[in-house]
Amino acid sequence: MPFLPHTPATTSSAARATGRRLLVVGAAVPLMLSTVFAGSAFAHGSTIDPASRNYGCWERWGDDFQNPDMATEDPMCWQAWQADSTAMWNWNGLYRENVGGDHQAAIPDGQLCSAGNTAGGRYAALNTPGEWKTTAVDNDFTVTVHDQALHGADYFRVYVTEQGFDPVTEELGWGDLELLADTGVVEPGEGRPSDGEALNGVSIDIDVSAPGRSGHHIVYMIWQASHYDQVFYACSDVSFPGN
């Protein structure tokens, strides 16, 4: 809140009104800044289908994030909201800079879903194994990544966990993943335009084939943006046909 000098008792009503307006504006500035941070001026993106863990939690609960029913209906999202709610409000900002293409060196095993606990650990709760909500997919499916700010990409890479990995009890490590798609260069602005809520950029569809998988798996997406050495990461939980 901005410093306001002491107002003498003789101050006019007009001056008092001006002081009140300053107080209102001062109180609104943090809200305005947080709104801009989460909005298009700082927009980036994430996997929206199958939804990344933080995007899915925001999509399901953003309008009702204080509902105690989340604890029983969606317990992994509940623990994530309790740990750091800004991970969901900033679902489009899970990235690291200056990785230099060496993702495994930048991100330790067990921290893949938080991009190595980037942003001061804001996204750390996304690493927690458990019964994350899954999206049902076939063994041939499409991953959709949303590029809000039209960054384009040097590449999108999509990995899927090996059969036998258990997302409910095991932390995700690099050795658990198989690379199944690599787009190469995607030019800025390339993709399907979207005017969906909180999107307003373009969506890029990536075809993936994951034979031999059944049950709960993690789809791991790496997006090397083309505008800067800035890399976005996302964990999405899926359910393949079968047990």
DSSP for 47-96? EEETBBHHHHHHHHHTTSTT-TTHHHHSHHHHHHHHH-THHHHTTT--EE
Closest CA to 37 of 84, 91, 83: 91
Per-residue pLDDT reduced to its tens digit, 44-72: 999 999 999 999 999 999 999 999 999 99
Q: Are 167 and 204 in contact (CB under 8 A)?
A: no
As a whole number of Å, the CA-based R_g of the chain is: 21
pLDDT band at 25 (very low <50, low <70, confident <90, very high): very low
Strands (DSSP E) contained in the chain are 45-49, 95-97, 135-136, 140-147, 153-161, 177-182, 192-193, 202-209, 215-225, 230-240
Looking at residue 197, what is its pLDDT?
Answer: 67
More confident residue, 166 or 16: 166
> Residue 217, Cβ neighbours under 10 Å: how many?
23
d(CA 239, CA 199): 25
State the alpha helices, DSSP H only, in 139-208. none
Torsion, Cα 224 225 230 233, to 10 degrees, reads -50
pLDDT per residue as tens digits for the range 111-139 = 999 999 999 999 999 999 999 999 999 99
Q: What is the pLDDT of residue 240?
A: 98
Beta bridge partners of 232: 95, 223
Residue 27: pLDDT over 60: no
